[in-house]
Structure formats: C-alpha cells, structure tokens
Amino acid sequence: MTTPNSTLRAVRMGLLMSQDEFARAIRDAGLRAGQRNDASKRLVQRWESGATAAPRPVYARALEVVTGMPIESLGFAAPVPLARVSDDGEGGHDLEDSPVGIPTASSGPSVQPTTSRGNYSGVWLSTYEFYSSGRGETFTGKHYVVLLQHGNRLNARSLPGASLNPDSPLTLDLQLDGNTVTGTWTEQTASEGYYRGARYFGALQLLVEPTGRRMAGKWVGFGKEFDVNTGPWELRLMDASTAKETLERYSRPPQ
C-alpha cells in the first residue's frame, strides 16, 4: 500500500499552482537549465499519491528550482538518485547516479543523509505595518530585498529604488535556527520624507513556512516618543536567483 506524499502536495498548493501548472513549471525549469524533462499532470499525480516513490535526477533538480527547497524536504519516501562524483581509482573522478545513503558495489559504508534547511538566498518582498501616532494612521512599508545566506546567517539589503518610500534603505541581519529566524532590522528614512532622515532599528522574529517561500512574524522597535512598538512583518520569496538581471528587474518600487 502506497503512502501519499502530503508534503509535496502542500508545497504545490502553497505555490497556488494546479497539478498541470506545477508540471509546466517543472518543464520550464528543465528547459532553462538545458535539461529537458517530460513532466506532466499525470506524473505529479503519481508523486503526490505515492505511486512513484522518488523522481529521477532530472526531475529532482527541476523540483528544487520550482519549489526553492532541497529534494530531501519534499516528502519523497525513498532516497532520490542525484548525480555524485566519486573516485575512479585512477587519480580522477567519475560522475554517477547513486541514491543518497545507498553505497555502490565499490564504495564503503553507507553515509546517512542529513536533512537540509535549504537555501533562502534570492529576492524577497519585505512587508511590515506600523502605526504613526503623529498622523493617526496605520502604514505599510514595502521593500524588495536581496537576501544572501551564509551558513545559518541571513543578510538582506533593499535593492536600489525598491521601496514604497524613495531613498529609504532597509537592512536585515538574521540568524536561522530550524524554522525560526531571529535578528535585527535597520531603516534609514528618506531625508525629504515625513520622518526627515531619522534612523530606526529594532528586533525581528519570523517563522518559516514549510514551503520555505514565506516568513512571517513581528518586529519590535522604538517610536518617536521613545516608546517600544511592535507590528507584523512578512518576507515573501519572489525569485530564488540573485543574478544581476534579476536584481535589476526588482530595483523598482513594489506594487
């Protein structure tokens, strides 16, 4: 009796994709990588039902691109064969398809796979809300930020011209611990804006959703009267690429 892959189904639904749209995205990812695949709605159904325990390497790589998650985190019941490099015994190396954790005939003891947190580098939409006591209204701050991951450290900087309020750069310095992200934020307000160039900073804690494409939580910081305020904060993945052309495309005010 097969066990349905509810994790993959939840990830797909979190991306707001039908099975047909998901298959099309996997095909497109393969084409962009120069590794064409024949993903179809029927194949996605087989993955989600558990009828196919693990995708072939060409599909595994495309799945990682589409979901932004490592293949080990997508709920497949069996190890996924991935291309690996091994010693060929003649001073060089060979490329082989070998399931993670399962030794080949010539290899040594099995090495058990470790669970990967994934890589959160990419362009994210940062959104927070704050109440302005001077204006008696609640406002929303939005920035496109480029986030870079180094181990368990996440550093984000707003892209040029990529905020609702011009000349209002934002920086985030965060640490990842499981599905919890904790750190600090700093924003330099626009010199010609309402806050006249004031620099604000504070703490931030977010929880990462299972899809790895959204983080949500709260910020804490001081106000103009030196009282401590708080409010909601969200980071939503827009593009896993940090290529120059991607950063240029998001160097604009969010909608």
Q: What would the pLDDT profile of 14-39 be if each residue is shown by its tens digit? A: 888 999 999 999 999 999 988 899 99
Alpha-carbon span 116 to 248, nearest angstrom: 30
pTM of the model: 0.55
The string of pLDDT tens digits covering residues 65-112 is 898 887 877 888 655 444 443 434 443 333 344 333 333 333 333 333
CB distance 86 to 93 below 8 Å: yes
- Position 37 in a domain: yes
> Is 90 exposed, middle or buried, given 0-12, 13-18 or 19+ CB atoms closer than 10 A?
exposed
- Position 85 in a domain: no
Q: Count Cα atoms within 13 angstroms, Cβ side, for 235.
A: 36
- DSSP H or E run through 158: strand 153-163
Q: Count Cα atoms within 13 angstroms, Cβ side, for 183.
A: 18
- Position 95 in a domain: no
Domain count, the chain: 2
Do 60 and 131 sit in the same domain of this protein?
Answer: no
- Could you tell me which residues come within 8 angstroms of residue 49 by beta carbon, excluding any fewer than 6 positions away? 2, 4, 5
Do 133 and 239 sit in the same domain of this protein?
Answer: yes
User: Containing domain of residue 54, as a range?
Assistant: 6-73
- Position 108 in a domain: no
The string of pLDDT tens digits covering residues 192-207 is 666 666 788 899 999 9
pLDDT for the residue 116: 36
